Chain A
Amino acid sequence: MAKKIIEIKNVSKSFGDKDVLKDINLYINQGEFLTLLGPSGCGKTTLLRMIAGFLQPDSGSILLDGKDLSGTSPYERPLNTVFQRYALFPHLDVYDNIAFGLKLKKVPQDEIDKRVRRVLKLVAMSDYEDRDVETLSGGQQQRIAIARAIVNQPKVLLLDEPLAALDLKMRKDMQIELKEMHKQLGITFIYVTHDQEEALTLSDTVVVMNEGRIQQIGTPTDIYNEPVNSFVADFIGESNILNGTMIEDRRVSFIGHDFDCVDEGFGENVPVDVVIRPEDIYFTNDPARTQFTAKVKSCTFKGVHYEMFVDSDTGNELMIQDYDPYPVDSIVNLYIEPDDIQVMKKERIANVLAAKVLGEGKIEMLGGEFECPTDGFEEGDEVKATVAFDKVELLDNLEEGVLDGEVHFILYKGDHYHLTIKVGDEGFLYVDTDDIWDKGDLVAVNIAPADIKLSR
């Protein structure tokens, strides 16, 4: 049953000197509803446009039914696209828009008539045949765009953020209809979106992308319950992401307490990231169940549930969602089920950077000149420099730092922020800080000489 219809092998792409996609490997099964999900600029649209044939990969290949598509123009590919801004031809009416592809294929007129009527019925737009497309509302144009694509009975339907331009209510309705259409048609759907809720609602498989790389591939429940790294955990739904230590198999320590968990194989006393979904922290009155206490800081009604921020007895901030409200300033007893603790290997435990010794007490890294002890190293040596997350100093005044950088990604870890600072085009520094920065802030970077450790 699981027949691969599209295979993407080692695909890379760059625009100028910016790498948009880095070594993407992915396959899509026949009849699957697969979503490429990620923030803007993660490369998801580029990947879709490559499958459609509007862009060529720099390296790697895309296979359809086992046949390499490179060198095949878009018009020769048995795929159809629903464009973000619909791209309905304004000089043609609804009927001619939908019949466009069939007429090109010289399908007999009565067959065209039949098929256009059928898809119009499918998208619930039967009486609109003769309408001028520009007189239609956004939602109606969207339906026509979908009809125009599926009337050609493509092997794969590509959808590029098709609902992004619609208002919330319309978007929800269209989501249900799309899902229904997918079931009825049995066509493979490849869907691009930055809306995580949409991805979780619609898809059989979600591919989370960031910075041109696939972060995680899985079913919506896998992605939500078992995110593989802190980016996925942060991007999908709400979450508490905390620093922890794996004490031993099935035992993890975070926010100053030890908890039972179900994860194994990390080793002993290994630093890890721990993800707790806000709905997985429970209130209790039973002292035997209580794992830690906390003080409620705020409580907001969110419609279905209450969203509370609490400070744990060890000073970590946690977000909790519960059906019952607890008064602000009250002390509450909390516990977390072992199942609900998601432990992730830390991607890194310190900054490890390529550096070059410039001379006595001087090195170059990330394009800047730093001072540090260079005992035992010669001028011109290529070395590795290790800097702890909390030893990187960020400053407002750009002139005071050795390097300039931009705050690229922010993760709140309960009692501090973990920032990703982008330096130049390709360099990244990871910083733990108590200060509040905003995404996109320009910062100056300083590192004290004693905090840079060199190694071969």
Chain B
Amino acid sequence: MTKRSNWSIPYFIFLVLFVVLPLVLVVVYAFQDNEGGFTLQNIGKFFSDSDAISTFALSLEVAIENTLICILLGYPAAYILADKQLNRSAVTIVLFILPMWINALMRTLATTELFNMLGFTLGKGTLLFGMVYDYLPFMIYPIYNILQKMDKSYAEAAGDLGATPRQVFLKVTLPLSMPGIMSGIMMVFMPTVSTFAISEFLTNNKIKLFGTIIQENINSSMWNYGSALALIMLIIIGITSLFTSDDSNAAEGGLI
């Protein structure tokens, strides 16, 4: 037994070095002033900085919009993919997942060039397009996964008990696929709150998201304020994730 538990040591070291330590550093920096003394100023600065707050609000808004669009586009796509009568080949599934094989940054750059070439003005529209394009597979996959594994006899039983196809979907299929939707939300919503590369390229830095501000602060050596912002974001994401993972089955349908 002791021997086997030794196997976990490398992972433990990895976790400490690359997850725990950076988190501790973020917390430490967030509560330090330039001289290294303890302060709450960095946190306070955020709440008095209307620019930062409105950026944060905008980030949340964009993330919510992106998530909703992903659900609206992703659910039907997953439903079609999981239905063996509508989709007879595994190739279509691969086609949906294929974009994930290419680096997101490259895809974003390519999309930017495409918009430039077509003469679109870069702005919120192009930003949302880029986000949906990047994150849609992360919504489709967990939903597809759960729909595909779902026992067909549930839908049959509902039909047998008198439910029209519409009622079957609303009263059985949709509620049973909630865990997949929840996983999708976790995987789309959280990364979009903190994203900065997509907004930088696809709006030509016209729209700043919360991630952008953090990145700018860190880049201009304002480590303490940057850390405080990062901490605030972490806490808020943490709270939303508590919200969504209420459903204990959430992980079942997901990639994680």
Contact = CB atoms under 8 A, between A and B. Distances in A.
Interface of A: 52-54, 73-75, 79-81, 83-85, 87-91, 100-101, 104-105, 148-149, 152
B162 A105 contact: yes
A83 B167 contact: no
A416 B160 CA distance: 49
Nearest to B175: A91
A91 B248 CA distance: 13
Interface residues of B, number: 18
Contacts of A104: 161-163, 167
B157 interface: yes
Given A81-B157, A100-B158, A87 B151 contact: yes
B154 interface: yes
Nearest to A148: B161
Nearest to B178: A91
Given A75-B164, A104-B167, A87 B154 contact: yes
A105 B163 CA distance: 9
Given A79-B160, A89-B154, 13 more contacts: A74-B156, A75-B160, A75-B161, A75-B162, A75-B164, A81-B156, A81-B157, A83-B156, A85-B153, A89-B172, A91-B175, A91-B178, A100-B161
Contact of B162 (A83, A85, A87, A152): A152
A89 B157 contact: yes
Interface in B139-160: 151, 153-154, 156-160
A314 to B, nearest CB: 54
B176 interface: yes
A74 B159 contact: yes
Interface centre among B156, B164, B175, by most chain A C-beta atoms within 10 angstroms, is: B156
Contacts of A54: 156, 159
Contacts of B172: 89
B10 to A, nearest CB: 38
B99 to A, nearest CB: 33
A246 to B, nearest CB: 50
Nearest to B168: A75
23 contacts: A73-B159, A74-B160, A75-B159, A75-B161, A75-B163, A80-B160, A81-B156, A81-B160, A85-B153, A87-B151, A87-B157, A89-B172, A89-B176, A90-B176, A91-B175, A100-B158, A100-B161, A101-B161, A104-B161, A148-B161, A149-B160, A149-B161, A152-B161
Nearest to A160: B153
Contacts of A80: 160-161
Counting chain B CB atoms within 10 Å of each CB, the highest count among A54, A75, A79, A84 belongs to A75
Contacts of A101: 161-162
Instruction: List 9 tightest A-B contacts by C-beta distance, closest first.
Output: A101-B161, A87-B153, A87-B157, A74-B159, A104-B162, A91-B175, A81-B160, A75-B159, A75-B162
A90 B178 CA distance: 12
Nearest to A76: B162
Interface string B160-198: 111110010001100110100000000000000000000
A41 B167 CA distance: 33
Contacts of B164: 75
A79 B160 CA distance: 7
Contact of B151 (A53, A85, A91, A149): A85
Contacts of A148: 161
